[in-house]
Amino acid sequence: MGSADFTKYGITFYPNPVEDILTFSGDSAIDDVAVYSLPGQMLMYKQMHQNEQFIDMTQFAPGAYFVSVKSGDRTATIRVIKR
């Protein structure tokens, strides 16, 4: 899935590329967010139940990552570039 799925599900995110903080907001509560390396290793998992959430990306090396967001029974994944 990509950013079109995020839009369809009422979830927005910015900025991309990201240097430090990645922000998510949704029409409904975001349940959890996970960051994965390109090979698929989970690097971070955060549970929440808020419409807006901030993910600190400063601990990650520059490169590409997948970020998966779950809201209710919907899950969408985007590719994020870390500078």
Residue-wise pLDDT for 22-41, tens only, equals 998 888 888 999 999 999 99
pLDDT at 6 over 80: no
pLDDT for residue 60: 96
Inter-CA distances, 2 with 24, 28, 66, 75, 79, Å = 14, 19, 10, 11, 7
Q: What are the sequence ranges of the domains in the chain?
A: 3-82
pLDDT tens digits, 45-80:
999 888 888 999 999 999 999 999 988 888 889 999
Predicted TM-score (pTM) of the model is: 0.86
Nearest-10 Cα torsion for 3, 67, 28, 6: 10
CATH class of 3-82: mainly beta
Euclidean distance between CA atoms 45 and 81, whole angstroms: 18
**What contacts 39, CB < 8 A, 6 or more positions away?**
none
pLDDT tens digits, 50-59:
888 899 999 9
